[in-house]
Structure 1
Amino acid sequence: MRTPLVAVLVLCTNEKKFLKGVVDSLLKQTYNNLRIYILDNNSEDGSKEIISNLSPRGRSSFGRKYQTSNLTSIYFKSNLGYAKANNIGLRRAFGDGADLCLVLNCDTVLKKDCVEELVESYLEKKKEEIKVGLIQPVILLANDRKKINGVGNAIHYLGFGYCQDYLKSYKKQSVDKEIYSVSGAAMLMTREYFRQVSGFDEEFFMTGEDQDISWRGLLYGYRHFLSQGAQIYHYYQFGRHKLNKYREEKNRLMMLLKNYSVKSLILLSPMLVVNELALILYSLFEGWFFLKIKTYWAILVNSKTILKNRKIIQAKRVVNDKILFSRFKAVIHFNPINNFIIQNLANPVYWFYYHLVYIFI
């Protein structure tokens, strides 16, 4: 069996300070059949100049010589967001003959055998005739490499997503683990998967695309995995910017409307209404009330596209919501947002309704 050609897509948006680390770590990979694509989302911090210096046999601004004939740079004239920019990169890489693509954040550093371990995990699952979807490495915090950033993301049944085991001490495991949502910081994808799920939903722009593309894969019968031997280090910061809340909420609602069956949406509707009213009240106190209201307008404006995508997804799905619901979380446990309201008010209600609906879904 030939060695799969792996393309690594590194998407950068004004992340000049991280370029050296990620490119260095890619050039030191033990896996040889590798191509690197740097996608620049119209950066204005000097990133373009650094990327352009990574020419074949040239001396980069990092101060060392690189053999970079396997490095391709793609510049966008505007910020296309995570979803659209990566879709363009994926189409280009698969069109160039890649068998697998590793979608990677710029603010990461890879352990030297990361790609090799990811490919090994993929090939092992294929030998077992598993319908492999997405594979992610163990993601540790770059500033504290003994702490977990993410070992797969959790999907709450109302569409919330968060990093599992965030800030817990990492203990290496020997056996790959099945997960239900991967992290957008690093995910390995096959050509077949990209084609079947139609890539990232470009209506998302950014935030939640990883959860959405994972969820659609589950609907189509794919299985996602955590490669225990592969590691990356992520300069992660939990975002509290108000604009992030708008994107999180808009994209969460879009996911629910696209991916759940009509029956599930009807059964969940009382809890969804209660949850939205609670979020409106919460946004009023937190100062992003108008952004929350804006999410409903965005859903209305994009309703035709959402319904079109929903029709495609529901026609192609082979897994029912009863199975998926059993994989979703009933409550939210994520350190940065754990507070009295979530733990003592919201979670008990979430838990009760989850188990009530599970009987009928």
Structure 2
Amino acid sequence: MNISVIVVTYNSRAYIRRCIESILGQLGRDDELIVVDCGSTDGTPEVAESYGLAQVIRTTNRGYAGGNNLGAAAAQGAYLVFLNPDTHLRPGALAALVAPLRGDGPDALSTACVVHMRQPSVVNACGNTLHIAGLAYCRGANQQAALYRASAEVDAVSGAAFGVRRAVFAQLGGFDEQFFMYVEDTDLSWRARLAGYRVRYAADAVVEHDYRVSYSPRKAFYLDHNRHIMLLKNLGRRAYLRLLPALLAAEVITWGYMLMQGPRFWLVKPQVYAALLAERRSIRARRRAAQALRQAPDHAVMAGFAVHLDFQQLAGAAISRAAAAVFDPFFSAARRMAIGGGR
């Protein structure tokens, strides 16, 4: 088996036909499509089964991480491709996404050029950019896709559409299921970098995504909770201590952002801290597993991580410029103190 495409669904009936049809048109004789349905009540698995797929796996709602791990466990292909159900592959995208992974070179993960389905000339994510404080954001978001025609090494994959060698995915232990949803793609990428691998942006693998911006206290909780776990797992002790000023500054920023969102968000940060305290034993165990992968020092792993925070993805341009003027010099100094140099 060559390529295994895995799509996790949850009440995805509105999208799944378009997604499946774009995949089936690009599968070779030795490829497979696996749909993992996490308890849909809108008929999504029945739609998937109507295509006569080899595998439609029905399960409870295990989240993005758990659903994709289940699909990966059933996969037979040498290369795994993970797609959101609200994506659509442009012609040639599947082959272009897998191309950087062939052979045994350091490029073990690849991420697509994900564009907005309603504005196909505009970028949703050309991979993810990772800030030294663990805050991740979409690389190239809302810019013209024509500006991102060159393939490049990037910090992290975008979970909407990416590929990975199956052997490497197994070596890394798959997705961290305690994340449930959000940040799991960035965490997987970080662990891959710890193990000495690279993440490649595949510019010719163009995928349309019916992306809609949404924000809720639940989403805010998972984003912040999972960011903290990622840092605690993947940073070496010395690097973590040296980055404490930057991490504390990030706490000030995230506290401020939650307060600005209104009363519904005011308890998010205390809930995150309480959850981290309750999960401390599990976090320690997962940290040991992550550090056991280490083939690269922190300064090499974080060599490309950003010091500029793209506040414009969260707020307006004016706020972004003001925040950058205040925080960018601080983060730059903190990074030089911790590991030296950087964007």
TM over 0.5: yes
- 1:55-204 residue pairs with structure 2 within 5 A? 55=52, 68=53, 71-76=54-59, 78-93=60-75, 97-123=76-102, 126=103, 130-171=105-146, 175-204=150-179
Q: Of 245, 256, 270, which residue of structure 1 is paired with 2:231?
A: 256
Q: How far apart in 1 are the matches of 2:71 and 2:62?
A: 12
Aligned in 2, Cα 1:110/1:267: closer, same or farther, shift over 3 Å? same
Q: Of 313, 317, 326, which residue of structure 1 is paired with 2:290?
A: 313
Q: How far apart in 2 are the matches of 1:5 and 1:17?
A: 29
Aligned in 2, Cα 1:32/1:111: closer, same or farther, shift over 3 Å? farther
Report if the CA contact (8 A) 2:12-2:86 is conserved: yes
| Superposed displacement of residue 196, structure 1 | 1.5
The number of residues matched between the two structures is 336
Q: Of 207, 212, 236, which residue of structure 2 is paired with 1:232?
A: 207
- 1:259-278 residue pairs with structure 2 within 5 A? 259-278=234-253
Q: How far apart in 1 are the matches of 2:136 and 2:78?
A: 29
| Superposed displacement of residue 175, structure 1 | 4.9
Report if the CA contact (8 A) 2:19-2:85 is conserved: yes
What is the CA RMSD across the aligned residues, in angstroms? 2.0
- 1:40-59 residue pairs with structure 2 within 5 A? 40-55=37-52
Q: How far apart in 2 are the matches of 1:6 and 1:50?
A: 22
| Superposed displacement of residue 254, structure 1 | 0.6
Matching of residue 15 in structure 1 with residue 16 in structure 2: no
Report if the CA contact (8 A) 1:39-1:89 is conserved: yes
Identity across matched positions, percent: 28
TM-score, structure 1 as length reference: 0.87
Report if the CA contact (8 A) 1:177-1:226 is conserved: yes
Aligned in 2, Cα 1:265/1:279: closer, same or farther, shift over 3 Å? same
Q: How far apart in 2 are the matches of 1:356 and 1:327?
A: 15
Code of the residue aligned with 1:112 in structure 2: it is P
Q: How far apart in 2 are the matches of 1:28 and 1:306?
A: 42
Report if the CA contact (8 A) 1:132-1:223 is conserved: yes
| Superposed displacement of residue 226, structure 1 | 1.3
Code of the residue aligned with 1:89 in structure 2: it is G
CA radius of gyration, larger in: 1
| Superposed displacement of residue 174, structure 1 | 6.3
Cα deviations across residues 265-284 of structure 1 (Å, max 9, x unaligned)? 11122332343244334323
Report if the CA contact (8 A) 1:153-1:183 is conserved: yes
Q: How far apart in 2 are the matches of 1:265 and 1:193?
A: 26
| Superposed displacement of residue 119, structure 1 | 2.8
Structure 1: gaps of 5 or more residues = 56-67
| Superposed displacement of residue 346, structure 1 | 5.6
After superposing the two structures, state which structure 1 stretch, 279-288 or 14-23, moved more. 279-288
| Superposed displacement of residue 331, structure 1 | 1.4
Structure 1 segments of 4+ aligned residues over 6 angstroms from their partners: none
TM-score, structure 2 as length reference: 0.92
